[in-house]
């Protein structure tokens, strides 16, 4: 058992080390700036996922509406997880529409939709991205494995390859999410972040 535990730990370390790659740092930088710009314009983010990815989305959202590392104003984020909505839409038209209906109801032009999926194959998230694009939301995806059908479809994407199970992928996703939140707070609320914020409207980074 000790050998298996050590292998699991090594796999976890391998996954987190991917965040040091240039493409990961570029994604985190651009996602942080996009989200900060969204909040600066008094827009919101909508987040969705299935199973553990939905739980990660709930974690993402509460760090924004609540507090992360410091006291500051609440940041507008909605995770599409309401059980009444999900069971209503699933019962009436099918589970594949639970997120797109939520986006249709709550999304406004200039908002951001964030899809969390370890496979990229979830039909409800692919349909949700279609709806988000239709009503002119920006889109970000957190993907795993080969990216599935969702690969290449969003304005920004973070793809974790090299793992066959969702747990390792979700661990990397969640670490990236925590760093993004830290950077968003840095941009919006740190004195030294004000100069960065001024440049966002002048630079096309996504």
User: Domain ranges in the chain?
Assistant: 2-200
Torsion of CA 83, 85, 87, 93, to 10 degrees: -160
Angle, CA 138 vertex, CA 149 and CA 162 arms, to 5°: 40
pTM check: above 0.85: yes
Angle between helices 98-106 and 83-92 (to 10 degrees): 120
Q: Looking at residue 198, what is its pLDDT?
A: 57
| Residues 128/100, Cβ–Cβ less than 8 Å | yes
Buried b (16+ CB within 10 A) or exposed e, 187-205: bbbeeebeebbeeeeeeee
| Residues 182/167, Cβ–Cβ less than 8 Å | no
C-alpha–C-alpha distance, residues 180 and 146, integer Å: 23
C-alpha–C-alpha distance, residues 62 and 17, integer Å: 26
Angle, CA 144 vertex, CA 139 and CA 150 arms, to 5°: 40
DSSP, residue by residue, 66-114? S-SSS------EEES--HHHHHHHHHHT-GGGHHHHHHHHH--TT-EEE
Tell me which fold the domain 2-200 belongs to.
Rossmann fold (3.40.50)
Total residues found in the chain within this entry: 206
Q: Which residues contact 179 (CB under 8 A, 6 or more apart)?
A: 19, 28
Q: Render pLDDT for 91-102 as a digit per residue (tens, 0 to 9).
A: 999 999 999 999
Q: Looking at residue 70, what is its pLDDT?
A: 83
Q: What string of pLDDT tens digits covers the 206 residues of the chain?
A: 999 999 999 999 999 999 999 999 999 999 999 999 999 999 999 999 999 999 999 999 999 999 998 889 999 999 999 999 999 999 999 999 999 999 999 999 999 999 999 999 999 999 999 999 999 999 999 999 999 999 999 999 999 999 999 999 999 999 999 999 999 999 999 754 455 445 545 555 44
Q: Looking at residue 192, what is its pLDDT?
A: 45
């Amino acid at each position: 058992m000790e050998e298996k535990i050590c292998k699991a730990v090594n796999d976890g370390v391998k996954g987190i080390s991917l965040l040091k790659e240039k493409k990961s740092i570029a994604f985190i930088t651009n996602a942080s700036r996009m989200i900060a710009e969204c909040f600066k314009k008094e827009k919101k983010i909508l987040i969705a996922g299935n199973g553990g990815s939905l739980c990660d989305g709930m974690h993402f959202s509460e760090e924004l509406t609540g507090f992360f590392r410091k006291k500051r104003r609440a940041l507008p984020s909605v995770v599409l997880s309401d059980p009444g909505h999900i069971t209503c839409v699933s019962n009436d038209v099918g589970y594949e529409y639970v997120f797109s209906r939520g986006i249709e109801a709550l999304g406004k032009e200039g908002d951001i939709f964030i899809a969390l999926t370890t496979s990229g194959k979830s039909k409800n998230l692919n349909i949700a991205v279609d709806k988000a694009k239709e009503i002119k939301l920006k889109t970000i995806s957190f993907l795993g494995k080969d990216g599935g059908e969702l690969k290449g479809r969003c304005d920004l994407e973070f793809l974790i390859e090299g793992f066959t199970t969702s747990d390792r992928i979700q661990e990397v996703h969640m670490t990236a999410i925590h760093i993004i939140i830290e950077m968003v707070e840095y941009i919006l609320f740190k004195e030294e972040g004000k100069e960065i914020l001024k440049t966002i409207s002048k630079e096309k980074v996504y």
